[in-house]
Structure 1
Amino acid sequence: MTSEQTSRGVTFEVQLTQNCGLGLEIIDRSLAMGHRITSVLSALKIARSTYYQWKNWHPSQQETHRRIFTVHFEH
């Protein structure tokens, strides 16, 4: 494996961990195709706890207020 291939893999892993929406979409599609959750998470190098943290995430009250404020005052 070349360093270029390694960096591509690491970049993809970083993108997944920084973008839970992308990770959840990939995982949900894989599950819909009949793959087991343990196999999918292992292949993507995502901890099971991270997956469930993503699935159960809800914005805090402060985050919700911040989004409303930003949308309201940007327009």
Structure 2
Amino acid sequence: MPINIYADEIETPVLLIHGEKAHSRYFSEDVYKKMKGNNKELLIIPGAVHTDLYDHMDVIPFAKIAEFFKTNLK
């Protein structure tokens, strides 16, 4: 099931991370807009493409991910 169909039903915290130049960036932006509540965040990584977030350790926002988990996984 595509997440965008049910995005407005998600109640748990969500962190969406996408590269600025990723071909699928629109997907996270659309889902983010559809989600309700204050427990959502969209993080766009400047200059990154989709695969940069898989294998370029210097591009992956590890600190932000850890902060998000620490704040929201209680």
TM-score, normalised to structure 2, is 0.25
Structure with the higher fraction of residues in helix conformation: 1
The structure with higher relative contact order (CA 8 Å, sep 6+) is: 2
